[in-house]
Amino acid sequence: LPRNDTRAAIDRSDAVHLFAERVRQLAAEPALGSANLQAIAHICRQLGGSPLGIELAASWCRALSPNEIAADLTRGLDILSRTDRDADPRHRSMRVVFEQSWALLSSEEHHALARMSVFRGGGDRQAVTNVAQTSLVTLTELLDKSLLRREESGGATRYTLHELVRQFAAEKLAGDPGDQRATEQRHMNFYAEYLQSAFLPSADTTTAPWRRVQTDMDNIHAAWSLAVDTRNAATLQAMVRGLMTLFDAQGAGQEGIVLLERAAEALKADAAAVGARGRILGWLGYLLFRASRKDEAAARVQEGLALMQDHGGAIGLADLLHNLAWFDFFAGNLVAARDQWA
């Protein structure tokens, strides 16, 4: 696979060569123009180098540009099919290939594979067995059938799905809405608790706990997004400090600001979530302050503080007062800062 989008990396890629060979067979050479090379490299990475997937994607170059094919791949498996009648029926689409593999799985393997689709970038053994409600034996069986991949990260084992397999498995999970909701809930709860337990006062991002959390940022994002979408105030309140600290330490404060603003807006109409919203506003103020948006920062923290004081939101109240003290300190209001810290 091309490791990056440089011309040298693309030219060395066997996956890109296979794509180009199939395009030439179809007499669709214009798709191979230099302007399309990065899109072709992206397609090959999306397909994980799957030879059948690459051939099926390339077959659409008669009707679509590589950029359009890459965009369609993000929406599902349906583009990975061919219409030529002389093709082996078993190789006419990736969906057929996956359905054949699915038919050979046990019920336990069905559940494990479908539930694994909620992960973003895979997960470690503890996460996968907890969220997918499966065993190491079942994971090993899926590994043996090449439907699951095992990787080493920082000395720990992670289990991942090829993106095409993940899309197929997600469709299967969506076929059981009850199991889908329960699995997504377990995923959200696991990473909310995980973020809380991994949070350390130290901002030293070279430590093992920090590195582990950073590996799972996509899963943490997914957990936060579900909590926002479902207006789960308790989960948002539990995650907010750890999430804010991560963004701050990574220099990604603007991304954190966007996520916290969305959460605060989602809870605005929920009378039972006033305390949680107050805490989120307080940490939003901190990130705004770090982004040199000091007036906005003070307003947000004051708003959050008022909500927590008026509605008995004791959790995190000290953090907000501490933030206000720092704002006053850096503004030269030393007496006010002293009073906040008192």
* Most confident of the following: 36-50, 78-92, 178-192, 299-313: 178-192
Residue 155: the pLDDT is: 75
Asked whether residue 272 falls in the same domain as residue 292, the answer is yes
Residue where a domain terminates, one of 58, 87, 116: 87
pLDDT (average), residues 111-133: 96
Counting DSSP H helices and E strands in the chain, the numbers are 19, 3
CA 84 remoteness from chain centre: 37
Q: Whose CA is closest to 144, among 156, 153, 152, 136?
A: 136
- As a whole number of angstroms, the longest Cα–Cα distance in the chain is 83
Residue 189: the pLDDT is: 97
Asked whether residue 40 falls in the same domain as residue 150, the answer is no
Is 107 among the domain residues? yes
Residue 81: the pLDDT is: 64
Asked whether residue 73 falls in the same domain as residue 182, the answer is no
Domain coverage including residue 124:
99-171
5 and 41 Cβ atoms separated by less than 8 Å? yes
* b/e per residue 295-328 (b: at least 16 CB within 10 A): eebbebbbbbbebbeeeebeebbebbbebbbebb
- Under the banding of pLDDT at 50, 70 and 90, the label for residue 322 is low
Is 256 among the domain residues? yes
- Per the structure, the count of domains in the chain is 3
Residue where a domain terminates, one of 143, 171, 199: 171
Asked whether residue 157 falls in the same domain as residue 261, the answer is no
Which of the residue ranges 15-19, 42-46, 88-92 would you say has the lowest mean pLDDT?
88-92
Is 2 among the domain residues? no
Is 310 among the domain residues? yes
Asked whether residue 322 falls in the same domain as residue 205, the answer is yes
Asked whether residue 108 falls in the same domain as residue 220, the answer is no
Is 255 among the domain residues? yes
- Under the banding of pLDDT at 50, 70 and 90, the label for residue 319 is low
Count of C-beta atoms within a 10 Å radius of residue 85: 7
Count of C-beta atoms within a 10 Å radius of residue 209: 14
Count of C-beta atoms within a 10 Å radius of residue 86: 5
Is 38 among the domain residues? yes
Which tens digits make up the pLDDT trace of 222-264?
A: 999 999 999 999 999 889 888 888 887 777 788 889 999 999 9
Is 308 among the domain residues? yes
The H or E element that residue 217 is part of is helix 217-229
Residue 203 makes CB contacts below 8 A (sequence gap 6+) with 245, 248, 249
Residue where a domain terminates, one of 57, 87, 117: 87
E-assigned strands of the chain?
123-124, 149-153, 156-160
* b/e per residue 52-76 (b: at least 16 CB within 10 A): bbbbbbbbbbeebbbeebbebbeee
Residue 118: the pLDDT is: 98
Asked whether residue 293 falls in the same domain as residue 323, the answer is yes
pLDDT (average), residues 286-301: 85
SS3 at position 156 = strand
57 and 77 Cβ atoms separated by less than 8 Å? no
Query: What is the rounded average pLDDT for all residues in the chain?
Result: 82
Find the CATH number of the domain harbouring 144. Answer: 1.10.10.10
If one compares 309 and 126, the residue with the highest pLDDT of the two is: 126
pLDDT (average), residues 30-39: 80
Asked whether residue 222 falls in the same domain as residue 288, the answer is yes
Asked whether residue 316 falls in the same domain as residue 246, the answer is yes
Which tens digits make up the pLDDT trace of 140-169?
A: 999 998 889 998 876 789 999 988 889 899
Residue 84 has pLDDT above 60, yes or no: no
Residue 124 has pLDDT above 80, yes or no: yes
Which of the residue ranges 201-215, 265-279, 321-335 would you say has the lowest mean pLDDT?
321-335
Q: Whose CA is closest to 191, among 107, 266, 131, 271?
A: 131
Residue 234: the pLDDT is: 92
pLDDT (average), residues 195-201: 69
Asked whether residue 47 falls in the same domain as residue 111, the answer is no
Is 94 among the domain residues? no
Asked whether residue 275 falls in the same domain as residue 135, the answer is no
Which tens digits make up the pLDDT trace of 246-257?
A: 887 777 788 889
- Under the banding of pLDDT at 50, 70 and 90, the label for residue 7 is confident
Residue 337: the pLDDT is: 47
Q: How far apart are CA 32 and CA 12, in angstroms?
A: 15
Asked whether residue 259 falls in the same domain as residue 123, the answer is no
Which tens digits make up the pLDDT trace of 272-283?
A: 888 889 889 988
